[in-house]
Amino acid sequence: MNPSPHTEQTVYLNSKFMPMNDSKISTQDRGFLFGDGVYEVIPVYNGQLFRFKEHLQRLKNSLAAVSISNPLTDSEWLSLLNTLIEKHPWQNQYIYLQVTRGIQMQRDHLPAENLTPTVYAYTNPLKLVAAHIIENGINVITLEDIRWLKCDIKAITLLPNVMMKLAAKAQNADDAILVSREGLITEGTASNAFMVKDGTIFTPPISHQLLPGITREVIERIASAHNIPLIEQDITEAMLNEADEIWLSSSTKEALSVTTLNGHAVGTGKPGAIWKKINTYYQAYKQDFIKKQP
């Protein structure tokens, strides 16, 4: 049996770097007991953090929204993440970082004052989505969005997302696109959603019902720079059913085509022309970013 690569990974926990196997947290950590914490996932290309400023700002927004004080300065965050990256050989990585409210010995929904946040970060090799998946797209179902009303916070409390992923899998789907109680598309279980109709890209506007995705924002910039019409607009399930193209976006999957929706082909049943353009520009944007790094 091959040794698990995870046992050889170095992680960061509360100011120290250590082997993953040695990283331990208290059972009384509020992250463990209450899911009381927030997180970020940041891609690393050629050893460089991609859109670090934006991810850090979103982390700060999440921390402020749940009243956890930011435990580190910007330069401390940057330096710890860069050290973590340097300790691993992978050219492309993705960082997972998490801040919980900290340890409180007496379980109480009301947080004690002046807790010390628990800071955890580790890195993984970032593998590109398999070529056949990029070429063929994925199979998605729509599901009722069963989450809370603060989906703009990147909270570690992901039980509804896990349940919806399981529900998608039970229906032999790769993922789900979520529909609010008002009948509007919010996002994917771990991604933002886009659709294309008659050459125009649509994505739901930022609200408390979805995460302001960093990849979503890059796609918006790319569309604007290349004069591809993109409108932030509420998307009904009926509109989605009539879409020529549907995509999901995230830091680890970039822009990924959805070619089957609820068992029916989306458009031609193959990734569409607008997705191809955006994906080509996205790859070029990444290459440009890599070239600009020291």
**According to CB under 6 A, which residues from 39 to 98 bind ligand PDD?**
41
Question: Segment near ligand PDD (CB under 6 A), from 29-37, 64-72, 186-194, 236-244?
Answer: 186-194
Using rule CB under 6 A, residue 124 touches ligand PDD: no
Using rule CB under 6 A, residue 190 touches ligand PDD: yes
Nearer to ligand PDD, 121 or 190 (CB): 190
Residue 85 CB, shortest distance to ligand PDD, in Å, is: 17
Using rule CB under 6 A, residue 192 touches ligand PDD: yes
Nearer to ligand PDD, 56 or 103 (CB): 56
Using rule CB under 6 A, residue 252 touches ligand PDD: yes
Using rule CB under 6 A, residue 258 touches ligand PDD: no
Residue 130 CB, shortest distance to ligand PDD, in Å, is: 17
Nearer to ligand PDD, 115 or 234 (CB): 234
Using rule CB under 6 A, residue 145 touches ligand PDD: no
Active-site position among 16, 24, 53, 154? 154
Structure tokens given for 149: 């009303």
| Binds ligand PDD by CB under 6 A, chosen from 29, 36, 145, 187 | 187
Is 24 exposed, middle or buried (CB count within 10 Å of its CB: 0-12, 13-18, 19+)? Answer: exposed
Q: Is 164 left (phi over 0), alpha (psi -120 to 50) or beta?
A: alpha
Nearer to ligand PDD, 124 or 259 (CB): 124
Residue 201 CB, shortest distance to ligand PDD, in Å, is: 16
- β-strands 16-19, 10-13: how paired? antiparallel
What is the sign of the dihedral through the CA atoms of 191, 210, 29 and 33? negative
Question: Segment near ligand PDD (CB under 6 A), from 19-27, 110-118, 207-215, 276-284?
Answer: 207-215
- β-strands 138-144, 230-232: how paired? unpaired
Residue 275 CB, shortest distance to ligand PDD, in Å, is: 16
Using rule CB under 6 A, residue 139 touches ligand PDD: no
Nearer to ligand PDD, 100 or 215 (CB): 215
Nearer to ligand PDD, 103 or 258 (CB): 258
Residue 107 CB, shortest distance to ligand PDD, in Å, is: 27
Using rule CB under 6 A, residue 251 touches ligand PDD: yes
SS (H, E, C) the chain: CCCCHHHHCEEEECCEEEEHHHCCCCCCEHHHHHCCEEEEEEEEECCEECCHHHHHHHHHHHHHHCCCCCCCCHHHHHHHHHHHHHCCCCCCEEEEEEEECCECCCCCCCCCCCCCCEEEEEEEECCCCCHHHHHHCEEEEEEECCCCCCCCCCECCCHHHHHHHHHHHHCCCCEEEEECCCCEEEEECCCEEEEEECCEEEECCCCCCCCCCHHHHHHHHHHHHCCCCEEECCCEHHHHHCCCEEEEEECCCEEEEEEEECCEECCCCCCCHHHHHHHHHHHHHHHHHHHHCC
Using rule CB under 6 A, residue 271 touches ligand PDD: no
Could you confirm whether 286 is annotated as catalytic?
Answer: no
Tell me which residues touch ligand PDD (CB under 6 A): 41, 187, 190-192, 211, 213-216, 249-252
- Please identify every residue annotated as catalytic: 154
